[in-house]
Every structure is written in structure tokens, then in C-alpha cells.
């Protein structure tokens, strides 16, 4: 994975290549931004570029040397990726990384530790990592990847170079889908518009189950009425109990309310994400005041934040549904 093969993030890539050209690589970086927009991919590309045998000449990964090939196959002894499906990253996992960092690189120029979802570190793990940051080694590089940098302790934030990522444009996402997945243009444009600038989300949406979930949720939203409590309960219950499914449903709701607000203010359908349901978007924009739509967006965002704190899912979703202006 070279910088040149990555879609978008030109500013961030330029920053990293400049640091390589000037031989001013930091001891630790934080890559932060929304989920599934390519932060971890760029972290791996950076690791590959730094250890490429031609890095001094091209400031990128050649993809051909032995080091590049090993990193591409996940077999390089000096590149370590820590990612977990658990709720927390625990201190023993950080200590395992620290043990690796006590030695010089076995083959590469640098030993690179990539910590995905770094915000999952519990307090003990974060304190252990802080000790490593306070005693940096020129042979090691830490790359912390997170969508919630505000959950990291300030003591860690202040000791890392911060590279901030923004969502990709819909055009870039659509180009990726067409060129890398041979997707028809119309389908690629739709998925790109629904992706929120995330290639990962666009790929996740490319399934019959996901599209069916979106269609049913759209139907329930369009038929929800505050005068009919059952319709609100149906909307809340359809979001489910699975945390990932709820998160996806809330993102879909947020895009609908966002579309309604944008359409109300601009009457421009080209800026609408859910372009395949424009009549419903236009109807909502006409029916509700701008303040009411904005209130809906805030309600969904508060529900998203609450669910990250492991509150009662059903109660949170039902409370949100009954407060929505529909």
C-alpha cells in the first residue's frame, strides 16, 4: 500500500511525505477523524513508506522491495498492528507492545506500532502508554488511530503530532467503487452519497440486508406520527438491540434530517444525500420548521453519545423517538 494508491487525503499525505523528505519524523502520531475513512489504511501506508528500501529517494513505498512485500502480506517483524473487538484495550496489551519496543528493529529502519481505536484504552493502559511517550526511542514509532481523540488523556494528546482527517468527497468514494470494485456508476453514486464520506461505510452498504434495513427504516420514519404512539415505538424498536445496527440506523436517521434541513434552506436536490427519496425529504422540509429539524438532529446525536456510554438501549431510543418532531 503506497501513498499514491490511496484515494483522497492529499493534505495528510503531503504532510507525512514532507516530514520524510526533511527527515523530521515524530516519535508518535495521532490519526483522528470519522470512522472508516482510511485512517488505519494511511497509517499502514506510512509504516510501509518509512521502511521501504527506496524511501530516501521516493518518500513513499515502492511496493516491490522485500520490506514492502512483507508489509503488504502482514509478515514484517517490525510492523505491529494492535486492534481489538473488546470494549477496552487493557494494560497487558500495551505492555506487550512495550516489550517489543525495547529491542532494535529486526529488519526495518523503524519498528512501528499501530494502535487502532486507541480511545479504547482503559486508564491503566493509557498510563502505561504515557510512560513510553515520555521516554521515546529513535528506533520506534507509535501511530494511534482514533475516531474519538477527545477520549484520550490530554497528557497523551500533548505528546503526539496530530494528523486530522476529514470525510472524503462523494466523488472520490464513487471513483473508488467504480475503479476498485467495478461497480456501475449509478449504484456507486448512490452508495457514495449515503456513505458520509466513508469508503468503508459505502462498502458495508453494498448488501441486500443493509439496503433492506434502510428501506424499512425509511418507511417507518415517513409513517411515524406523534399522534400515534405505536408508530413511534415501532420506529424505536426497529433500530434493534445490536449496538452496530443501532449505530447504523441512527446514522441513517441523521442523514434524513440533515437532508431536510439542507433542502429547506437551499431547495437544492444536488446536495441531498438520500437522493433516491427526494419526495419524502422535500415533504419533511416543507412540513417542519428549521428549528424543529435541527432539534431532531440534536436528539439523534445525543442518543448516539448516550449509547456509547452503554446506557439502556430501548429506553434511549424510545425517549428519542417520542421527542422527534415529525
**pLDDT of residue 100 exceeding 90:** no
Is the pLDDT higher at 104 or at 236?
A: 236
Confidence of residue 157 (pLDDT cuts 50, 70, 90): very high
- Report the chain's mean pLDDT, rounded to a whole number: 93
Instruction: Cell 440486508: give the residue.
Output: 209
- 3-164 matches 207-323 in fold: no
Residue 309 confidence (pLDDT): 82
Residue 112 confidence (pLDDT): 96
Rounded to two decimals, the pTM is 0.80
Residue 80 in grid coordinates: 505491529
Q: What CATH number does domain 3-164 carry, 3.50.50.60, 2.40.30.10, 3.40.50.300, 3.90.1150.10?
A: 3.40.50.300
Is the pLDDT higher at 101 or at 45?
A: 45
Rg (CA), the chain: 22
Q: Domain spans of the chain?
A: 3-164, 207-323
Whole-angstrom Cα distance, residue 13 to residue 20? Answer: 11
Among left, alpha and beta (phi > 0; psi -120 to 50; other), residue 196 is: left
Residue 318 confidence (pLDDT): 96
Whole-angstrom Cα distance, residue 57 to residue 169? Answer: 31
Read off the pLDDT of each residue in 39-62 and give the average, rounded to a whole number: 96
Residue 156 in grid coordinates: 497523551
Whole-angstrom Cα distance, residue 294 to residue 304? Answer: 15
**pLDDT of residue 116 exceeding 90:** yes
Residue 268 confidence (pLDDT): 87
Please, which residues bridge with residue 163 across strands?
31
* Per-residue pLDDT tens over the stretch 4-49: 999 999 999 999 999 999 999 999 999 999 988 999 999 999 999 9
* Per-residue pLDDT tens over the stretch 303-317: 998 988 878 999 999
Read off the pLDDT of each residue in 90-94 and give the average, rounded to a whole number: 95
Tell whether domain 207-323 is in CATH 1.20.272.
yes
* Per-residue pLDDT tens over the stretch 202-252: 998 888 888 899 999 999 999 999 899 999 999 999 998 788 889 889 999
Read off the pLDDT of each residue in 122-150 and give the average, rounded to a whole number: 93
Neighbours of 269 (CB within 10 A): 13
**pLDDT of residue 137 exceeding 80:** yes
**pLDDT of residue 270 exceeding 90:** no
Read off the pLDDT of each residue in 259-274 and give the average, rounded to a whole number: 90
Residue 145 confidence (pLDDT): 98
- For 62-66, 264-268, 321-325, which range has the lowest pLDDT when averaged over its residues? 264-268
Give the residue among 56, 105, 48, 53 at the shortest CA–CA distance from 78: 105
Give the residue among 288, 218, 283 at the shortest CA–CA distance from 255: 218
Residue 240 confidence (pLDDT): 82
Confidence of residue 284 (pLDDT cuts 50, 70, 90): very high
Amino acid at each position: 500500500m503506497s501513498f499514491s494508491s490511496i484515494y483522497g487525503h492529499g493534505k495528510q499525505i503531503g504532510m507525512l511525505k514532507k516530514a520524510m523528505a526533511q527527515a523530521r519524523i515524530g516519535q508518535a502520531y495521532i490519526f483522528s477523524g470519522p470512522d472508516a475513512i482510511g485512517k488505519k489504511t494511511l497509517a499502514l501506508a506510512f509504516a510501509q513508506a518509512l521502511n521501504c528500501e527506496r524511501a530516501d529517494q521516493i518518500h513513499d513505498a515502492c511496493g516491490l522491495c522485500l520490506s514492502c512485500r512483507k508489509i503488504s502480506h502482514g509478515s514484517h517483524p517490525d510492523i505491529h498492528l494492535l486492534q481489538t473487538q473488546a470494549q477496552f484495550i487493557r494494560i497487558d496489551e500495551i505492555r506487550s507492545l512495550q516489550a517489543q519496543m525495547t529491542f532494535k528493529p529486526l529488519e526495518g529502519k523503524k519498528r512501528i506500532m499501530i494502535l487502532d481505536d486507541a480511545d479504547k484504552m482503559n486508564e491503566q493502559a493509557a498510563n502505561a502508554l504515557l510512560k513510553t511517550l515520555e521516554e521515546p526511542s529513535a528506533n520506534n514509532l507509535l501511530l494511534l488511530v482514533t475516531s474519538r481523540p477527545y477520549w484520550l488523556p490530554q497528557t497523551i494528546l500533548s505528546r503526539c503530532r496530530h494528523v486530522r482527517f476529514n470525510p472524503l468527497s462523494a466523488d472520490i468514494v464513487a471513483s473508488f467503487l467504480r475503479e476498485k470494485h467495478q461497480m456501475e456508476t449509478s449504484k456507486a453514486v448512490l452508495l457514495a452519497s449515503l456513505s458520509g464520506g466513508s469508503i468503508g461505510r459505502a462498502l458495508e452498504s453494498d448488501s441486500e440486508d443493509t439496503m433492506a434495513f434502510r428501506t424499512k427504516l425509511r418507511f417507518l420514519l415517513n409513517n411515524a406520527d406523534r399522534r400515534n404512539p405505536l408508530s413511534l415505538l415501532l420506529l424505536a424498536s426497529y433500530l434493534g438491540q445490536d449496538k452496530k445496527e443501532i449505530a447504523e440506523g441512527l446514522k441513517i436517521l441523521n442523514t434524513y434530517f440533515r437532508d431536510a434541513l439542507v433542502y429547506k434552506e437551499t431547495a437544492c436536490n444536488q446536495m441531498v444525500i438520500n437522493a433516491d427519496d427526494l419526495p419524502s425529504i422535500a415533504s419533511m422540509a416543507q412540513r417542519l420548521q428549521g428549528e424543529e429539524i435541527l432539534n431532531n438532529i440534536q436528539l439523534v446525536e445525543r442518543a448516539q453519545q448516550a449509547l456509547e456510554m452503554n446506557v439502556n438501549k430501548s429506553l434511549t431510543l424510545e425517549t428519542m423517538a417520542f421527542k422527534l418532531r415529525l
